[in-house]
Amino acid sequence: MGIGRREGSLGASAGSIGSALALFVLVPVVAAGGLVTKPLNEAGHTVAVFAVVALLALPALRRTRWWRHPAPALLAAFWALFWALAPRALAAAPDGRLGRKELTGLAICTFVSIAAVAWSRGSRAGLQAFRWGWVAALLLTGGIGVWEVLTGRHLWTPDWAPWRFGEGSVISSTFINPNNFSDALVGMLAGVVALWAGAGRTRVLRWVLAALAIFAVVLMVFTQSRGGLVGAIVIVALEALRRRRAAGARSVRELLARQIGGHRAAAGALALALGAGLIATFVVPALAARNPVRAMLDVAFSEGQARSDSLRLSLIRFAFGYLRDAGWSGSGAGSFEPLFWNDPARGGLPPTNLHNAFVELLTQYGVWVFAPYLALLLVLVWAMLRGRTRGDTQGGTGGAPGDVSAAGGEPDGAGATDVPILRAELAGQLTAFALLGATASSALEIPFWWLSLANAVALAWHLSATSRATANPPASVEASNPPRSAQPSHSA
């Protein structure tokens, strides 16, 4: 009996490792974007390949009891309802070709999100695979970004064509649009910071991860996008707050003073030197002309940017008008563009995309499809914000989150200090998801957007499992620690 149990445990462990490796590969593959999908599209195999990926991932859900946890259950409910009502959305589409194209893209996104959540299993190994996958994605897309800066060339723009996003040093990597790349970098940064927070006293690893985090922020600057830097500020602020609480410091300033210790003079000199160098890049003409931060600020506060922000609000008003005209059941798959472009009330507004995937999903597919999606987002926000569990001590630097057993989907030895790291990481992924969804011309068909959501679902799943295990400890643990009154007396 014991041998059979041991063999089953070894098999489950091997399956968990295999799932983690598959997820680690999936993340940079999705981040590669057109480098992967363009050849598949030309061969006509994109949907089939990602469908096979999802089918290969489904066995990883065996014995996890995923349906007991709100986040993965709601994701499954959303996709099930979406595809049940997809024929109606296609029938309502004013342009059948655009409708079929959008549903094809969403099929790929469905397979990506299902595979990522399934391979994560809501487990420690799965979350670590996600994080290291983000590192691989950062190295891949960041390497392409460096190539863009050095050469002035870009992946999806021929050398003879003008670069439509400003100077040649503005980068977009595999994402076509610099804004999309900047928002995607926020998700990658969240994974890197979570690894850094859980690295403990492994000094070399922490320095490497810190360098990668700085690399991600530098890449954001070269996209000249406001959204990415806002996301980076959120992630850094959350990590500073977590570390302040963990150290018991009354303020971030007190925490910095403790970290600097007896090196205050050196730290002060370094800060002055860095400050002087930063000021010089803004006031010295030769340096200011090459300063990407100044260029980004010029764009952010330009009159053109203000017009762009106003246009986004107008587009949302038009989209809700089409939803109302459709009786709140959705204007149809891929419907916004043909409806808006041919709307006489458009006036002088330029023909463009909606630039808000959340509104796009609601207005094109209706309130019934959006309801489980909204419920999922609320569950994720609740997992990020809810009060401390009984095991959350806020102490130490924390580590990687506890594993989830193959048998029950419950954490195995989750550390109490993991919870603040997990919630900060979840906040980072939700920030990336919100930024990309609200700024891209249409994130609805971008697999990376759904991959960020899948990471958030995996984090919420693990937090849910950790909370349940904390509230209901295994009977074997209680049996091994009987109450004092139940222990035999040796006084006689």
Q: What is the pLDDT of residues 414-448, one digit of tens each?
A: 443 488 899 999 999 999 999 999 989 889 999 99
Phi-psi region of 432 (alpha: psi -120 to 50; beta: other; left: phi over 0): alpha
Helix or strand holding residue 397 (H, E): none
Rounded distance between C-alpha atoms, residue 190 and residue 428, angstroms = 5
> Residues 285-308: pLDDT tens digits?
544 555 566 666 666 555 655 567
| Residue 485 Cα to chain centre, angstroms | 50
> Residues 154-172: pLDDT tens digits?
998 888 888 888 777 899 9
Cα 266-267-273 angle, rounded to 5 deg: 90
Rounded distance between C-alpha atoms, residue 110 and residue 57, angstroms = 13
Domain ranges within the chain, ordered by starting residue: 12-71+84-157+166-261+311-470
With a CB cutoff of 8 Å and minimum separation 6, the contacts of 397 are 197, 198, 199, 200, 243, 246, 417
Q: Which tokens in the block code for residue 260?
A: 């600097």
Q: Are 452 and 187 in contact (CB under 8 A)?
A: yes
pTM of the complete model: 0.83
Q: Which tokens in the block code for residue 190?
A: 């969240």
With a CB cutoff of 8 Å and minimum separation 6, the contacts of 492 are none
Cα radius of gyration (the chain) = 25
Q: Is the pLDDT of residue 261 over 60?
A: no
Q: Which tokens in the block code for residue 148?
A: 């863009």
> Residues 322-331: pLDDT tens digits?
999 999 999 9
